[in-house]
Amino acid sequence: MQKFDTAIEAVHTLRPDVPVYCFRPEVLAQDARSFLEAFPGETAYAVKTNGEPMVLETLAKAGVKLFDVASPGEFAAVRAVAPDAGMLYMHPIKAQSDIRLALETYGIRVMSLDHEDEVAKILRVVRALDMDPGTITLFVRLQTKGHAAYELSKKFGAAPAHAVELLQRCHRIGFRTGLCFHVGSQIEDPETYERALASADWVRNRADVPLAGLDVGGGFPAEYGYDPKRRKPDMPGFPEIMARLRADLDEWGFADVPLVAEPGRVIVARAFSLIVRVLLRKGRRLYINDGIWASLSDSWTGKITLPARFIPDPARKRRNGDPGNIAAFKVCGATCDSVDILSRPFWLPETVDTGDWIEIGHIGAYSLSLRTRFNGFYPDTFVHVTTPFGAGDAAEGYASLETMAD
């Protein structure tokens, strides 16, 4: 992997016509260590957020010893780069063959569930393997609803009364039991965890079984951008969220229970940016060589505002307009699909034109894991960049896409 100080240096050297991911392992390690130090329990990185081997290896070297996995593909990815790491199989609904693979081949001893049929599947495999249920911890997934960019309560989770029954059932069989919840992705309200903890406390008191642990899931917000033409949203930052969570854990009596978190975005978002090229300017439309079916699904949903910078092509000597005037451009992706249009405009100098580049920042979460091969477009070029996004470059060298307005 080629190494550059900045994305601008990479652009000037490579003059790429394909999208280029800028990987910042130093930033990834720093953000991972920050979370490990702040959370009062064990940290299980959510592999679904970004399961690239370079990411998993960097995290393991930075001190992450646990990984939240959901499939055989993720089991194998973790084992390949971190053979000594532990894995938590926290997908509530699993194929019975995958349960056996997890227990027999990968030595996984922690799983989650939200239905009695899942208990039965796990128990069948445990008996077939002649295993002691007491060596396995089953976390009952509690249905919670949080205030987050992406709501995750529609598909998984047991209602509180049902969760009580599941905890008692698992305990009677001989499994170790725990509670888990997931308040959503990119939470927007610091009280979200308190509401979930209140529900978990209700379940714990009525189930009256020993709890081997509490898994508070993910949702910890990453830093993104905002529309420079609007007031900056009043969003809680990671330090505020973590301070509030620690206080809530004390208040609801969970401080002495073994804790687990499953962070994703907050650890990996800043570790990647993406260099795209403007293939064509058509009025106030820009056609770029990436889009919603590749790296920019977050921009399609309109839930996340991605920061970015303009990198002009130095070979273009003449430009129209005033580089000091920032204008809104509708951005169209590379595929033939007519829905491949980003939901929010890019705010760029009115001089932007065909052949220029844009570096889109903080795309480490889900951009790579959700990309597809639709229309034959599949970005897969990486460079190592040492300078964090938004640092080390002169302001006149770029403008705001949807942020960097400061």
Domains of the chain: 3-21+269-397 (2.40.37.10), 40-262 (3.20.20.10)
Per-residue pLDDT of 30-84, as tens digits, reads: 999 999 999 999 999 999 999 999 999 999 999 999 999 999 999 999 999 999 9
Write down the pLDDT at residue 396. 32
Does the predicted TM-score (pTM) go above 0.95? no
| Residue 336: pLDDT band with limits 50, 70, 90 | very high
pLDDT digits (tens, 9 = 90+) for 284-332: 999 999 999 999 987 666 667 788 789 999 999 999 999 989 888 999 9
Residue 369: the pLDDT is 93
> Is residue 223's pLDDT more than 80?
no
- Read off the tokens for 292: 């919603």
Rounded distance between C-alpha atoms, residue 327 and residue 346, angstroms: 8
CB atoms within 10 A of CB 285: 12
pLDDT of residue 405: 31
Confidence (pLDDT) at 403: 34
Q: What average pLDDT does this structure show over 118-137? A: 98
CB 113 within 8 A of CB 173: no
Q: Which two tokens stand for residue 368?
A: 């790579």
Q: What is the 3-state secondary structure (H, E, C) of 125-185?
A: HHHHCCCCHHHCEEEEEECCCCCEEECCCCCCCECHHHHHHHHHHHHHHCCEEEEECCCCE
**Are 165 and 205 a contacting pair, CB within 8 Å?**
no
Q: Which amino acid is at 163?
A: A
Let me know: does 75 contact 108? Beta carbons within 8 Å: yes
pLDDT above 80: residue 243 = yes
> Two tokens at 128?
């077939």
Spell out the residues 6+ positions from residue 75 whose beta carbon is closer than 8 angstroms to its own.
69, 87, 101, 102, 105, 106, 108
d(CA 312, CA 278): 10
Q: What is the mean pLDDT of the chain?
A: 89
The reported pLDDT for the residue numbered 232 is: 64
54-58, 200-204, 272-276, 319-323: the lowest-pLDDT one: 319-323
3-class SS of residue 63: coil
Q: What is the pLDDT of residue 151?
A: 57
**Looking at residue 401, what is its pLDDT?**
39
**Residue 192 — pLDDT band, cuts 50, 70, 90?**
confident
